[in-house]
């Protein structure tokens, strides 16, 4: 079984884990899923916007973007890839730690 990493929910079964006489259903689902995704991307106005704002963030450091999102969410601990961020004071975040010093 394939599992969605973030949600822990089942996506599709592994072919070896279903009876052989049902494998055609899995093949049919995969074909339908790919076609449905292409169709939705072509017709849905919101999905058509995907990637159009990438230039807005192109010069921003990834940790800076994640840091602002974490502050908005009110997290207590932010683990950064950039060791220079540990000295920053950000409203809404109590602790900023670099990955190599994180209490894991």
The count of domains in the chain is 2
Lowest mean per-residue pLDDT among 5-9, 64-68, 76-80, 90-94: 5-9
Beta strands at 77-80 and 95-98: parallel, antiparallel or unpaired: parallel
40 and 59 fall within a common domain: no
Residue 7 lies in a domain: no
Of 24 and 10, the structure prediction assigns the larger pLDDT to 24
Q: How far apart are CA 12 and CA 22, in angstroms?
A: 13
Q: Are both 61 and 39 inside the same structural domain?
A: no
Domain check: are 74 and 95 in the same one? yes
pTM: 0.41
97 - beta bridge partners?
79
Q: Where in the sequence is the domain holding 89, given as residue range(s)? A: 54-101
The SS3 of residue 32 is: helix
Residue 19 confidence (pLDDT) above 80: yes
Q: What is the distance, to the nearest Å, from the Cα of residue 43 to the centroid of all Cα atoms in its chain?
A: 23
Structural domain includes residue 10: no
Number of other residues whose CB lies within 10 A of the CB of residue 79 = 20
Are residues 36 and 59 both part of a single domain? no
């Amino acid at each position: 079984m394939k599992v969605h990493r973030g949600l822990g929910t089942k996506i599709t079964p592994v072919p070896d884990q279903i009876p052989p006489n049902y494998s055609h259903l899995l093949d049919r689902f995969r074909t339908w899923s790919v076609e449905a995704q292409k169709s939705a991307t072509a017709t849905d106005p919101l999905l058509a916007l995907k990637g159009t704002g990438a230039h807005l963030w192109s010069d921003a450091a990834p940790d800076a973007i994640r840091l602002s999102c974490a502050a908005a969410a009110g997290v207590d601990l932010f683990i950064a890839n950039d060791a220079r961020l540990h000295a920053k004071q950000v409203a809404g975040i109590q602790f900023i730690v670099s990955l190599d010093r994180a209490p894991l």
